[in-house]
Amino acid sequence: MTKKNEKVSTKKVVNYAGAFIALLIGSGFATGQEILQYFTALGYKGILAVILCFILLAYVGLSFISAGYNNKFDTPNDIYRYYCGKALGTFYDYFSVFFIFLSYTVMIGGAGATTAQHYNWSPYIGGILMGVVVIITAIFGLNRIVEVIGNIGPVIVVIAIFVGGVSIFTHLDGMNTANDVVRDLVANKEIKIANPNWLLSAGSYVGFCMLWLAAFLGQIGASANSDKEGKLGAFWGATGFSLAVLIMSLGIFFSISTLKGSQIPTLILAGEIHPMLANIFSVIILLGIYTTSVPLLWSVVSRFAEEKTPKFRMLSIVLGVVGMLVGLTLKFDTLVNYVYVLNGYVGLVLLFIMIFRSIQWKKI
């Protein structure tokens, strides 16, 4: 019996891990709004939610990579039919396209909110500039996207961990009161919460992440030198991302008294460390939005057109512009709360199906 090819390129593993991280660090994470609603608003139970998220993200990341490597799907969204069968898989195919497009609109809204808060620009300027750059990049295709965002992702994580870590140590005096402050802010609806139950909050978070990751990681798996190479990339991507979530969540939690009412809490944390760092972090937020927006737009367009064709380029422009209009119409924290939370539960059902399939296939 011949041994399966297990060729592993360290550079590829780092690129895959970076792309995994970069896809998930969008406007919600980079601005802190997503972290605030899913983890910080839970108080200390948010730590349990982060740990569960790591376990589940590692599981789905490895599963999607392996499915892509072993099956080489004809179209990216065939991964849903692989797990769910024809009927339910078709539902997830079209639903994921719709949700991913809405997620792209959230990214545009985050770009507008960031530039409005930090630079005092009209949100339309920031959102439109982001949309134009994203459209141009998406047109270049998947391989170029992985190369670009795979290099940016780890940099964003390192700086996010630094800002969150410093905020933890400079606000240690808030450790004893943070839980009560968060509880009051949630009760008074001064901050939004994804779900008061930490299990459901973590499940919903992983659920919407899955709908972002499925087609993208399936295609990365298909292009990997080996199953092991792709899985290592997914594992280290889940590890790096979860560590960043934990540290940033605690940084926001201990500083919560100074952050209420802010659309972009991470900018305030960075500004407390040094005004110049706030300027740098505003750029980091915009890079995080960029690295997520590009694969989201690519995922939607690739569902309807083949890369590098006139149809693909035209759809990238049309859908990119429509997403700009939607994203700049609604308030950013409202977009995060409704788009991510509601769709996260649909993704959670997919998670249960994947776990069931894993058990079923091991018995065959």
The residue type found at 263 is: Q
In the chain, where are the structural domains located? 10-363
Q: How far is CA 147 from CA 20, 27, 29, 164, 312, in A?
A: 12, 20, 21, 27, 20
pLDDT in the model for residue 3: 45
Residue 363 has pLDDT above 90, yes or no: no
CB atoms within 10 A of CB 144: 14
CA pair distance 31, 289, nearest whole angstrom: 9
pLDDT in the model for residue 2: 40
CA pair distance 296, 101, nearest whole angstrom: 7
Residue 150 has pLDDT above 80, yes or no: no
pLDDT in the model for residue 303: 83
Residue burial 332-364, b: 16+ Cβ < 10 Å; e: rest = bbebbbebbbebbebbbebbebbeebeeeeeee
Q: Which residue has the higher pLDDT, 238 or 7?
A: 238
At residue 27 the predicted structure's pLDDT band, cuts being 50, 70 and 90, is low
pLDDT in the model for residue 113: 84
Cβ-contact 287, 265 below 8 angstroms: no
Write the CATH number of the domain with boundaries 10-363.
1.20.1740.10
User: Following DSSP, what letter does each residue of 86-105 receive, concatenated?
Assistant: HHHHHHHHHHHHHHHHHHHH
At residue 144 the predicted structure's pLDDT band, cuts being 50, 70 and 90, is low
Structure letter (DSSP) for residue 41: G
Q: Is the full-model pTM beyond 0.95? A: no
For 261-305, what is each residue's pLDDT tens digit?
A: 677 788 888 888 888 888 888 888 888 888 888 888 988 898 888
Coil vs helix vs strand at 331: coil
Q: How far is CA 221 from CA 77, 259, 277, 335, 336, in A?
A: 13, 40, 37, 31, 29
User: Following DSSP, what letter does each residue of 141-165 receive, concatenated?
Assistant: -HHHHHHHHHHHHHHHHHHHHHHHH
Above pLDDT 70, what percent of the chain?
94
pLDDT in the model for residue 18: 84
pLDDT in the model for residue 33: 82
pLDDT in the model for residue 224: 83
Coil vs helix vs strand at 4: coil
127: closest CA among 143, 104, 155, 144? 104
CA pair distance 340, 187, nearest whole angstrom: 21
Q: How far is CA 275 from CA 39, 109, 339, in A?
A: 26, 24, 32
pLDDT in the model for residue 322: 94
pLDDT in the model for residue 1: 38
Section 69-90 average pLDDT: 88
pLDDT in the model for residue 4: 52
Section 23-52 average pLDDT: 86
CA pair distance 176, 157, nearest whole angstrom: 27
For 213-252, what is each residue's pLDDT tens digit?
A: 888 888 888 888 888 988 999 999 999 999 999 999 999 9
CB atoms within 10 A of CB 304: 12
Span of 113-117, 336-340, 354-358 with lowest mean pLDDT: 336-340
| Sequence-ordered list of residues with C-beta below 8 angstroms from that of 304, at least 6 positions apart, any chain | 311, 315
Q: Which residue has the higher pLDDT, 114 or 318?
A: 318
CA pair distance 131, 210, nearest whole angstrom: 23
For 124-136, what is each residue's pLDDT tens digit?
A: 999 999 999 999 8
Q: How far is CA 142 from CA 21, 96, 122, 233, 294, in A?
A: 16, 18, 32, 17, 10
